[in-house]
Structure 1
């Protein structure tokens, strides 16, 4: 109980008070009402999140900040008689009832879904809110027999203000209602000054479910023919979001079609193009990114492909695609042998690597060949080996010192997370300073080493940075919170900028990473609620419009994933997207494969209607369909998160490389020998 009370207090402090609500009665009521009692049991852990939550009948319980803002705008006070249109779960009615009190105040609330009305009535009664009366009916016509009302709050968006609700206001009464098209409304405050005079004030943009009824929208999405404004001018027509997406969508050919990449020429002048994926195991995402990257490399001069992969493993691929030869003449071990092997050891990546190798063979100048680089920090063992190998060759004395410094890390190279557990004791904290000293020592010798081999120096310095960062990462990941995520993404961003700096001011990079890394974290609950940042955010902050962030999504199909970390890969069925998600809107557009340019100058109308936060699906190397909402959905504002969105309505799992893909006669330097 104490924990729930703390969550409720934190919700009020961080989501409501900090957004400017100063009404003590509103703040006190929201501290008192148990929001977890107004959602399904499996949603209780999210009750105090800064987002709306689904309830039965396709409805939602509004975001706490919106509930507070509407009650504050309506100036609800002790003793008021209040009409609420759209009972839902009963949460807003309970908050209002807490404010008006049991003596003279009363809340009358109307719900058109009888099942919701019944459950809300039972819930409110159980919680002791005897000053609330619920009835089933058409809220757009109000509750004439109980009028006039001191305040009316409408929790659904109508085409305009229903005349019946204005008529039922007391003189001095306040009506708060969202008005506009579906999922894009203006919150209005109407104050009745006399029998015929009303003041009108706009309170900002909001997004609510449609207000259905005789003086609202019809069930089929049209406006009832008899429902006109007082001056008899038609209100807005209801154009659905899927319809708007379909109109703005640019249908795409298959990724294997050479025409696919041409759709992305509009970003060919960017310094960085970041290409996402909604899962790590979906073939269409890899094939699409490969097609886009080929176009950017061939037509627009991109020379850096930077991927969400370990630096040492990607370096082995890079040596192959740029014909750099093996380190010290010794062939690399096959890369990407650690879990999740299918993420990079799959047929789609192998095909792209073959293409990149062939492309580079046609480029005479070595410095104009396109490299393949890893941004991530997990493979400490491989990184240590790479740095020591380099130092053995160019500075054996420094190599001996490095071996000493890395000594306290080596026992856990095969399972670096074990090091994280051990590092919680003071005895292991000395490693952090040691590896940072090693990184610093390597960088201080930059001029000496760079003269011997610039490419190999870049490889070794990045590995030294990786080890220093990874040591801290595996230590802090056991403390929890955003710190480990932020350390990892900052490391990946710094690796990207180091590559760009090393290749010169004209260098341009294409990045392959998960949507959670390349979409701007500030526009998701990752950043808003948990304080996490990511590469996409950092690129926008550093490069501005010279960075393009492109997300990917799907509705259903199959995916290669495990049930838990380190377990075997399975081909799993992807559940159809949730009705309250961005993915469902894209699915309902009816366009099976498309590019949606989300920039205001290209598609302002669809961008505006998609701005309000919705659920978005994220599948990594782990997929748990049974707990999909908790495990894989997060709140985001899609048009603020990405510059564009690539949609595949149905997708299939990647094919991991196996013995059946072995090829005879391939050189020892080929990285995907099987």
Structure 2
């Protein structure tokens, strides 16, 4: 079940998605919630909801989400869901549900996590990993620097090193201890992230290829998670632009982009169900520009003739549309990321879509409210990391 959102700052999207996920966990045997967040940040939350680690509250467990936009995961709606999930797992110790990140921005933190894991389990392997990842030090703490140099056609010294480290981790044998297997999987995913992030930052200087690399990484992570959990049922949270099948929008038709929704349908065609969410008007928590403080912004009424305006014409405060087998002509659909620019809304936030090809179902809210963040403002970008969702804003 892939559950999207039309913005990263809308209360109703987060609350309803959490409520549906809770029902699926309670009644459908869902074993994992995979979200559009960095792997190490989300894994701290995973440990918390499983009763592990030192965090005493959901708010503490969400503490690693410090990059712009912090409110995307550090908000009261996510806090409430994480609190509920920990309590649910405590009541069902034999059928716990984990929370995992799919994104790839945590290049340096993931490399450090690989080395830290190996220092505990195999000091000699840790030394080899430290030596391999040392190539990134040539470019300093900013991963864009590596991408800039290698993206201009120079040698690509870190790609092979990162790939070798992933292969070595994948070849390590374990003794069947479930906790050890989980920690090994965490380290292996960090190694996979380092390899793919290196490719992503290089691709940023070669055009739109970076979008495809990012969503391919998310799909690869989802497939690895599926294997680790033995084919367990999974719920995925991400923006509509990532989860609505790209083949049904201008992303795929005009720009040659793919996304997680498309790749998931191709990998699991009979098992995938995609739900999009839309709104007509209201407020959203978003920034004016990159790495600027977030604030409550007024969302303009949807453009006449757009998907949102057509559904709004039904006069319902909220509704669920089953799109399977439906015929819906091409029209505009609104996408708001972490930046909202109402002055250029048509250019900045609308794409041509075929909704019945993108989604299996659509949830629409006539009026929506802004998220309530746990922190003031957007937060600064830690050294060595890029703002989340850069450069696309989704």
So what's the TM-score if we normalise by structure 2?
0.90
- Out of 314, 320, 333, the residue aligned to residue 42 of structure 2 is 314
Distance apart, 1:449 and its partner CA = 9.0
Does residue 537 (structure 1) correspond to residue 262 (structure 2)? The answer is: yes
Secondary structure at 2:34 match in 1: strand
Alignment-derived partner of residue 246 in structure 2: 521
- Out of 155, 162, 166, the residue aligned to residue 439 of structure 1 is 166
- Out of 215, 221, 246, the residue aligned to residue 495 of structure 1 is 221
Alignment-derived partner of residue 381 in structure 2: none
- Out of 636, 640, 643, the residue aligned to residue 357 of structure 2 is 640
Does residue 353 (structure 1) correspond to residue 78 (structure 2)? The answer is: no
Distance apart, 1:354 and its partner CA = 0.2
Residues 359-414 of structure 1: CA distance to partner in whole angstroms, max 9, x if unpaired? 0001132xx21000000101112211211111110011111111121123257686
CA distance in structure 2 between the aligned counterparts of 1:549 and 1:451, rounded to whole angstroms:
32
Alignment check: 8 A CA contact 1:449 1:457 kept: no
Provide closer, same or farther for how the CA distance between residues 477 and 425 of structure 1 changes in structure 2, counting only shifts above 3 A: closer
Alignment-derived partner of residue 463 in structure 1: 190
Where in structure 2 are the equivalents of 1:323-334 lying within 5 Å?
Answer: 323-325=51-53, 334=63
Alignment check: 8 A CA contact 1:347 1:655 kept: yes
Alignment check: 8 A CA contact 2:71 2:375 kept: no
Alignment check: 8 A CA contact 2:62 2:73 kept: no
Where in structure 2 are the equivalents of 1:501-650 lying within 5 Å?
Answer: 501-505=227-231, 507-600=232-325, 607-608=326-327, 611-650=328-367
Alignment-derived partner of residue 282 in structure 1: 10
Distance apart, 1:539 and its partner CA = 1.4
Alignment-derived partner of residue 110 in structure 2: 383
Provide closer, same or farther for how the CA distance between residues 443 and 518 of structure 1 changes in structure 2, counting only shifts above 3 A: same
Alignment check: 8 A CA contact 1:381 1:413 kept: no
Alignment check: 8 A CA contact 1:462 1:495 kept: yes
Provide closer, same or farther for how the CA distance between residues 449 and 431 of structure 1 changes in structure 2, counting only shifts above 3 A: farther
Secondary structure at 1:657 match in 2: coil
Stretches of 4+ aligned residues off by more than 4 angstroms: 410-414, 425-428, 448-452
Alignment-derived partner of residue 294 in structure 1: 22
The gaps in structure 1 that reach 5 residues or longer are: 1-272, 601-606, 660-674
Where in structure 2 are the equivalents of 1:49-64 lying within 5 Å?
Answer: none
Distance apart, 1:428 and its partner CA = 5.5
Alignment check: 8 A CA contact 1:380 1:413 kept: no
Root-mean-square deviation over aligned CA pairs: 2.0
Distance apart, 1:324 and its partner CA = 2.6
Number of residue pairs aligned between Structure 1 and Structure 2: 372
Alignment check: 8 A CA contact 1:616 1:636 kept: yes
Alignment check: 8 A CA contact 2:174 2:181 kept: no
- Out of 151, 154, 175, the residue aligned to residue 424 of structure 1 is 151
CA distance in structure 2 between the aligned counterparts of 1:411 and 1:517, rounded to whole angstroms:
33
CA distance in structure 1 between the aligned counterparts of 2:243 and 2:282, rounded to whole angstroms:
23
Provide closer, same or farther for how the CA distance between residues 537 and 424 of structure 1 changes in structure 2, counting only shifts above 3 A: closer
Alignment check: 8 A CA contact 2:174 2:180 kept: no
Alignment-derived partner of residue 397 in structure 1: 124
Alignment check: 8 A CA contact 2:62 2:74 kept: no
Distance apart, 1:543 and its partner CA = 1.3
Alignment check: 8 A CA contact 1:450 1:457 kept: no
Alignment check: 8 A CA contact 2:152 2:205 kept: no
- Out of 357, 368, 373, the residue aligned to residue 651 of structure 1 is 368
So what's the TM-score if we normalise by structure 1?
0.53
Distance apart, 1:622 and its partner CA = 1.4
Secondary structure at 1:556 match in 2: strand
CA distance in structure 2 between the aligned counterparts of 1:615 and 1:275, rounded to whole angstroms:
20
Structure of greater relative contact order (alpha carbons < 8 Å, 6+ residues apart): 2
Residues 457-508 of structure 1: CA distance to partner in whole angstroms, max 9, x if unpaired? 1101011000000010011111112x21111111101111111111113x10
CA distance in structure 1 between the aligned counterparts of 2:61 and 2:371, rounded to whole angstroms:
25
Provide closer, same or farther for how the CA distance between residues 560 and 416 of structure 1 changes in structure 2, counting only shifts above 3 A: farther
Provide closer, same or farther for how the CA distance between residues 350 and 451 of structure 1 changes in structure 2, counting only shifts above 3 A: closer
Alignment-derived partner of residue 386 in structure 2: none
Alignment check: 8 A CA contact 1:394 1:449 kept: no
Q: Looking at CA atoms only, which structure, 1 or 2, has the larger radius of gyration?
A: 1
Residues 210-238 of structure 1: CA distance to partner in whole angstroms, max 9, x if unpaired? xxxxxxxxxxxxxxxxxxxxxxxxxxxxx
- Out of 64, 81, 91, the residue aligned to residue 335 of structure 1 is 64
CA distance in structure 1 between the aligned counterparts of 2:214 and 2:291, rounded to whole angstroms:
20
Alignment check: 8 A CA contact 1:582 1:615 kept: yes
- Out of 459, 465, 473, the residue aligned to residue 200 of structure 2 is 473
Provide closer, same or farther for how the CA distance between residues 314 and 451 of structure 1 changes in structure 2, counting only shifts above 3 A: closer
Provide closer, same or farther for how the CA distance between residues 452 and 364 of structure 1 changes in structure 2, counting only shifts above 3 A: closer
Alignment check: 8 A CA contact 2:321 2:362 kept: yes
CA distance in structure 1 between the aligned counterparts of 2:53 and 2:194, rounded to whole angstroms:
24
Distance apart, 1:346 and its partner CA = 0.5
Secondary structure at 1:591 match in 2: coil
Alignment check: 8 A CA contact 2:43 2:101 kept: yes
Secondary structure at 2:45 match in 1: helix
Secondary structure at 1:490 match in 2: helix
CA distance in structure 1 between the aligned counterparts of 2:306 and 2:62, rounded to whole angstroms:
43
